[in-house]
Amino acid sequence: MKTTRLITTIAFAFLMLLSFDANAQKFKGLDKSPMDAASYPDDYKDANKLVKITYSRPQLKGRSVDELAPAGKVWRTGANEAAEITLYTDMMLGGTKVKAGTYTFYLIPGEGEWTAIISSDLNVWGSYFYNEKNDVARLDVPVTEGKESLEAFSIAFEKSDNGVHMHLGWGTVRVAVPFTK
């Protein structure tokens, strides 16, 4: 009787192991435009953040920035889902006060300047559903040219006298969006 119970227990455990392996989760490979985040301060151990943006990082792969982020068209600020920006304190974008919270961050590329847009929309794929009525703030910022070319779209923050600048770079295109307190 004990032997039968032991054999049954071992057989059951073996079947459970086989079953577990057969139902193991399949993970897909790395996304072509992996998601990333930038914040200020950028020390991930510092819980006193002012701002954080989550975005995907498309690669040029022989294409031009103008081709991937066409002038005059609303761009999701990266790839895949539209970028989401979280302000942990009330801040100003240009002359508009933006309350602490999470928003979608869009851009409209232009020849000499790009328009930065903070929208109340959330969980948006691309810029397909962009609605100007949901704009919280807009600011036109100048475009400059960097010395080195960046293959992957990149965002970084830098402290300024009265807030932070969000630096966006891709190819040799550089845009700095000022957030002030």
H-only helix segments in 39-169: 65-68
Question: Which two three-digit tokens encode residue 93?
Answer: 């974008």
Residue 17, burial from CB neighbour count under 10 angstroms (0-12, 13-18, 19+)? exposed
- 2 vs 168: which has the higher pLDDT: 168
Question: Has residue 60 got a pLDDT over 80?
Answer: yes
Closest CA relative to residue 174, chosen from 75, 131, 149: 149
**Rounded to two decimals, what is the model's pTM?**
0.83
Closest CA relative to residue 76, chosen from 110, 35, 117: 117
Closest CA relative to residue 110, chosen from 82, 74, 83: 74
Mean pLDDT (whole number) for 11-39: 72
Q: For 93-104, what is each residue's pLDDT tens digit?
A: 999 999 999 999
* DSSP structure class, residue 16: H
Q: Taking a C-beta distance cutoff of 8 angstroms, is the pair 180, 141 a contact?
A: no
pLDDT at res. 32: 87
Mean pLDDT (whole number) for 19-47: 77
The alpha carbon of 40 is separated from its chain's Cα centroid by a whole number of angstroms, namely 14
Distance CA 14, CA 7 (A): 10
pLDDT band at 110 (very low <50, low <70, confident <90, very high): very high
Which residue ranges make up each domain of the chain?
Answer: 36-42+51-180
Mean pLDDT (whole number) for 132-147: 97
